[in-house]
Amino acid sequence: MIYFSENNWSSWKYDDGPLWARSTSAQEKLIPVYKKMDREILSLKEEALLAAKSTKDHYPDQTLNLFLSGGLDSELMLKSFLEIGEKPKVFIVRYEDDINLYDVSYAVTICGMLKIDYKIIDFNLKKFYENNAEKVADDAQCDRPRMLPSMTYADYVDGLSLLSMGDMYWARPHSNYNIKAEWKAIELESDFAADRYNIFHNRPCIHLWARWSPGMMMAHTKWKWFHRLINDQIPGKLGNSSSKLQGWQEEFPNIIPREKLHGFEKIDPLINEFEKFLENKYKGLPYRRQYDMTLDELYYMVTGKGYVASSV
């Protein structure tokens, strides 16, 4: 059995079709499907420790290969495995021409602080988009170019690959802060595409470790920062990414502050060119679907209770 999350609690479907499906029409509606959790939501640190133990329980005989991006989520993943006594092999992916030097520098610094060994994997992004990205996009049914390289990281290692992507994205529906708005949680089809790629290749890979368990995905909703954000108390914000560090510092005051980057800033023209290629090939960008939920709707889908009833 291949697990992409704890007991495969998180999956998707299109309309009334089967779980884990491939898309057959651009007109289908994307629907996330969650198995409901049966306990309270803990702090993110507590959830991460449980997630590390659970990951090992699901894959007791697999070598753990942890891809450290230099971001907050992958740092937490590494520290959680170390704290439960596991020592995964650590890999840092380095793009050519110092494209992701900022992230690599943080990843190396984290390894130094924790006194652990790591291996650098040199990855040529330009050659990837020229030679390999089209097939990866087809296999994953993914038309977001920035998602594609990480889907192939598992090709470089033997055993179980761990990447800590998949944290929930929140968005405000409009920019007018004179009018109260209801923030929405957004499930992006491109996140599910990472699992779809691994299903297509029949290999174990946890691409979305940031949502390995329901508690991992939901723990941030207990942060004071999150409540300030969705109550419009951080003016000017239309999403959660740029201020998320405030929430992390609330629970982990000793983390190294860092700017949120996607690592592709230096090759945006190449990314845009490949996106246009996919748009021409697919006659549009058909895999950009999303599913929006209010906070109360999300809580009901994950816990079986509304947000207020959960007394978070």
Residues of the chain with pLDDT under 70: 260-263, 308-312
Residue 1 belongs to a domain: no
Separation between Cα atoms, residue 45 and residue 196, nearest integer Å = 28
Helix and strand totals (H; E) in the chain:
13, 10
User: Is 49 contained in some domain?
Assistant: yes
CA distance 150 to 206: 11
What pTM did the predictor assign? 0.94
Q: What is the DSSP string of 20-74?
A: TPPP--TTSPEEEEEPPP-S----HHHHHHHHHHHHHHHSTTSPEEEE--SSHHH
Do 126 and 19 contact (CB within 8 A), yes or no? no
Domain that holds residue 247: 6-310
Flag whether 71 is in a domain. Answer: yes
Q: Structure tokens of 157?
A: 């290692």
Number of domains in the chain: 1
Instruction: For tokens 């939501």, name the residue.
Output: 41
Share of the chain above pLDDT 90, in %: 92
Distance of CA 287 to the CA centre of its chain: 17
Answer yes or no: is 215 within a domain.
yes
The string of pLDDT tens digits covering residues 75-121 is 999 999 999 999 999 999 999 999 999 999 999 999 999 999 999 99
* Amino acid at the residue 181: A
Q: Using alpha carbons only, give the angle 247, 107, 206 rounded to the nearest 5 degrees.
A: 75
What CA–CA distances, in Å, run from 201 to 63, 75, 92, 190, 276?
19, 27, 23, 17, 26
* Structural domain includes residue 271: yes
Question: CA distances (Å), 82 to each of 65, 116, 143, 290, 294, in order?
Answer: 13, 10, 35, 35, 35
CATH label of the domain that carries residue 26: 3.40.50
Angle at 155 between CA 149 and CA 158, to 5 degrees: 140
Please answer whether residues 65 and 93 qualify as being in contact, where contact means their C-beta atoms are separated by less than 8 angstroms.
Answer: no
